[in-house]
Structure 1
């Protein structure tokens, strides 16, 4: 992707800001005049940040706080378009194995350090070695070369169509090179972003407070003088906080959303994640039954997806058998209802696989998903599969997943661009393929996607078809993310994201 020569960089940044304003979700939409933020915004979040080291940043719900203090190389707009941020221009070589990135020259970090090519390289190098939860985002990066003061080459071992997207996410967050790897950055972020932490007003696991940075380079992205994240793990607590005015916006669910709507809260909904079972031990390393594709298929046929959706989500979503979402390009109509509700077929498959007397699956308890797991447990029991629910996931769940602690999980996973989803849940380097399951056939399909250029989406349909037929997962439905806000704030949903980016909020007129 290319946005023009360096000489046009400033104009392009302005153009991007104006475009966001026009669509109502970006730089200065509906808010105070640029450069004069005069209001505060309080958001209810589900979990506190465990480390402010940008290399430890996560995705989904947990990326949002990092955006307050760290700019990314590339900005992802509400509709998914990639625009300049700290990078003004970027383009691939002919083989798509080197991405040349031109950088802004007028940016400093909150500690006074300058942002330049050396700083960008330091961040990417640090991200690759810091063992963060999204380390796989840069698994295709071999190294970074400094070309000049404001240009870097990102050299790849293999083409990766998802790289530009990742540079708008955790892998693109830029921290001060003076602070990277220090103990201090774990508790106090040091970035070039629109806000700085007010450490005195912040309380661990309670609230994190930020104030507008006075010398921030892009005042159009600074629509508030104060930004607060209130950590509200409990769903009822988030609902009450929104209704009572303690927070301006937060993520609820269809049931608590009824209370919010009764209090005149406004809904910004979009389908982002799929929920269901991750059947991760497909080679039977710890649960031999999962090695047999017929057992995995039986699990899929055991579910009455529409009934589960109606019972636990009040119908807010779409039943599905595929892990790739509609906006990804990999979604295929024929796979939507590939596994129909057929208990008899499920029982026959178990019998054919030699498990007529039953199969046991052990899953961790996932806070917030107790109702879903209960219904899933019952429907599996009806065909002879026992779902044993163990201890709850903790703050170490990413390392627990990576260390193969779980063979199966009930979880909610992001449906991103095809190569993003492949990197996350299918690739042997993906967090949610901890047993590194692979076959030559699947590897060939993934390689075709990585080298597919404009045909990435179509080629990814073959990957989707393979993992559905081989029952790598048991998706149940794509769920509507129910994000509610009060009348004081305008909110534009972010495509393929459960909560909006911080740039998508603005004071209501």
Structure 2
């Protein structure tokens, strides 16, 4: 098996006092050369930060939108629009931020405490796909022009991380609520959209802001995001020189390498099935844990990794990755490949003849269909695949209309993973499953304390044994670049590098 590049994140915990004020590489470099052309795997449905997302969509927003906190490639947090932050009470429920002074949005509006508070309130009420990131916020207060306090109803160990992600993206308050924000972003980021040169659904052109507060982050004078949802279109654009960087299908690696392109890979996601319907509302069979365990036993993970991932992955039965305190190496092989035992479990559960269920799948992931359908058919389960456009795949997953789905999901710090997968209000728990035993563990992990890591591992084992998911692998993201034009540093916990990680060659 081909090994993937692994980088363990280092997460800074800033408790009790504000983080030290500072700048991140402010300088006066020479004029940034050239154009960075990135191939997007999904279109951007709206530039409204309230609908902001992580992964691919976070990177698409980065040219226009700075976040309050920035994550370095190794996962450490550094100042961006906030120069200091931290908890100011003993219960970890009052989080204070000091806002960088002298920064403006691209429309000239000041980036100040009032603007930040307006953005946080907008994100809380917009009901976007990552609304869970601020679900614990009770109140947002300003303290003068450069201080913001976030009052939490209960501690949230991931708040600092979230303020470097979708919840931390800042748009001009003058644009919030304006329908025009769907079409043209208005942020404080290093680039401004050239609306005249952009074609929705095809390409988005961004030009460097001459008055941006940190020119060291502007390594190119233009960033062009080209929408290429089809994997074949992406590889063709890459090898023909139309784009400099993109995420490609593992099956296209040889083609990319033969064209002189460089593969940059690191473990970022887990891939497999999400078994949403643990209460049997849509597919009654899934309410029985024996059925969910049978599904886990249906997949030959080694064959899947070689066949569809070109060896870029590590077999696993758990959804928590190596960056999480919940990670337990013993859980990687908790479910082996045993279709005979799987059929026996289905019979014990009362389904000797199997059953049928429908799952959505992004059109960009069609190559996975045989690796989903055939193993399930081998144990008697008929999986009906309903194709959905790539840009609608997450909406389909969160719709509550399906009992299960295949997807690849970021493996991050423990509480980030919890709020992505396990809590009732999250996108990837659309049928709002709950488990009293799990809830008790989550409360203990949330509160922290000396036994939090041990409880996190107990939580991971419980979720694995209850088969809420059927993971296949921790997958190596396969990004490809033109090494004659650009270089890039991987971003821990992100399937596509941040735009700040690219630099021109020569």
Q: CA deviation at 1:137?
A: 1.0
Q: CA deviation at 1:398?
A: 3.6
Find the aligned partners of 1:277 and 1:429 in 2 and give their Cα distance.
19
Q: 1:290 aligns with which of 286, 289, 299?
A: 286
Does residue 1:243 correspond to 2:252, yes or no? no
Q: CA deviation at 1:39?
A: 2.0
Q: 2:32 aligns with which of 29, 37, 50?
A: 37
Find the aligned partners of 1:84 and 1:453 in 2 and give their Cα distance.
27
Which aligned pairs between 1:248-287 and structure 2 lie closer than 5 A?
A: 248-287=244-283
Q: 1:85 aligns with which of 60, 80, 84?
A: 80
Does residue 1:324 correspond to 2:323, yes or no? no
Q: 1:63 aligns with which of 47, 58, 67?
A: 58
Which aligned pairs between 1:12-411 and structure 2 lie closer than 5 A?
A: 12-13=22-23, 16-17=24-25, 34=29, 36-92=31-87, 93-393=89-389, 395-411=391-407
Find the aligned partners of 1:206 and 1:100 in 2 and give their Cα distance.
40
What per-residue deviation string (whole Å, max 9, x for no partner) do you get for residues 409-438 of structure 1? 011111111101110111111111111111
What per-residue deviation string (whole Å, max 9, x for no partner) do you get for residues 319-364 of structure 1? 1100111122221011000001111111111111111121222111
Find the aligned partners of 1:281 and 1:181 in 2 and give their Cα distance.
35
Does residue 1:502 correspond to 2:496, yes or no? no
Find the aligned partners of 1:500 and 1:469 in 2 and give their Cα distance.
34
* SS at 2:92 equivalent: coil
Find the aligned partners of 1:319 and 1:180 in 2 and give their Cα distance.
44
Does residue 1:459 correspond to 2:460, yes or no? no
Q: CA deviation at 1:81?
A: 0.4
Q: CA deviation at 1:259?
A: 0.8
**What runs of 5+ residues in structure 1 fail to find an aligned partner?**
18-26
8 Å Cα contact 1:41-1:227 kept in structure 2: yes
Find the aligned partners of 1:436 and 1:262 in 2 and give their Cα distance.
47
Question: 1:474 — aligned with what?
Answer: 470
Q: CA deviation at 1:381?
A: 1.2
Find the aligned partners of 2:263 and 2:425 in 1 and give their Cα distance.
36
In terms of fraction of residues, the more helix-rich structure is: 1
Find the aligned partners of 1:205 and 1:456 in 2 and give their Cα distance.
45
Find the aligned partners of 1:234 and 1:187 in 2 and give their Cα distance.
23
Deviates more, 1:377-386 or 1:394-403: 394-403
Alpha carbons of structure 1 residues 481 and 455: separation in structure 2 relative to 1, 3 Å: farther
8 Å Cα contact 2:38-2:246 kept in structure 1: yes
Find the aligned partners of 2:426 and 2:319 in 1 and give their Cα distance.
14
**What runs of 5+ residues in structure 2 fail to find an aligned partner?**
1-12
* SS at 2:363 equivalent: coil
Find the aligned partners of 1:6 and 1:433 in 2 and give their Cα distance.
34
Find the aligned partners of 1:330 and 1:364 in 2 and give their Cα distance.
29
What per-residue deviation string (whole Å, max 9, x for no partner) do you get for residues 442-475 of structure 1? 0011111111157654432222111100000000
Alpha carbons of structure 1 residues 393 and 49: separation in structure 2 relative to 1, 3 Å: closer
Deviates more, 1:137-146 or 1:116-125: 137-146
Find the aligned partners of 2:54 and 2:285 in 1 and give their Cα distance.
32
Q: CA deviation at 1:482?
A: 0.8
Alpha carbons of structure 1 residues 7 and 400: separation in structure 2 relative to 1, 3 Å: closer
Alpha carbons of structure 1 residues 393 and 426: separation in structure 2 relative to 1, 3 Å: farther
Normalised by the length of structure 2, the TM-score is 0.94
Q: CA deviation at 1:367?
A: 1.8
Q: 1:491 aligns with which of 476, 488, 498?
A: 488
Alpha carbons of structure 1 residues 479 and 8: separation in structure 2 relative to 1, 3 Å: closer
RMSD: 1.8
Find the aligned partners of 1:459 and 1:227 in 2 and give their Cα distance.
44
8 Å Cα contact 2:17-2:86 kept in structure 1: no
* SS at 1:459 equivalent: helix
Q: CA deviation at 1:268?
A: 1.2
Find the aligned partners of 1:415 and 1:2 in 2 and give their Cα distance.
22
8 Å Cα contact 2:190-2:217 kept in structure 1: yes
Find the aligned partners of 2:335 and 2:362 in 1 and give their Cα distance.
25
Counting matched residue pairs gives 492
Q: CA deviation at 1:394?
A: 5.5
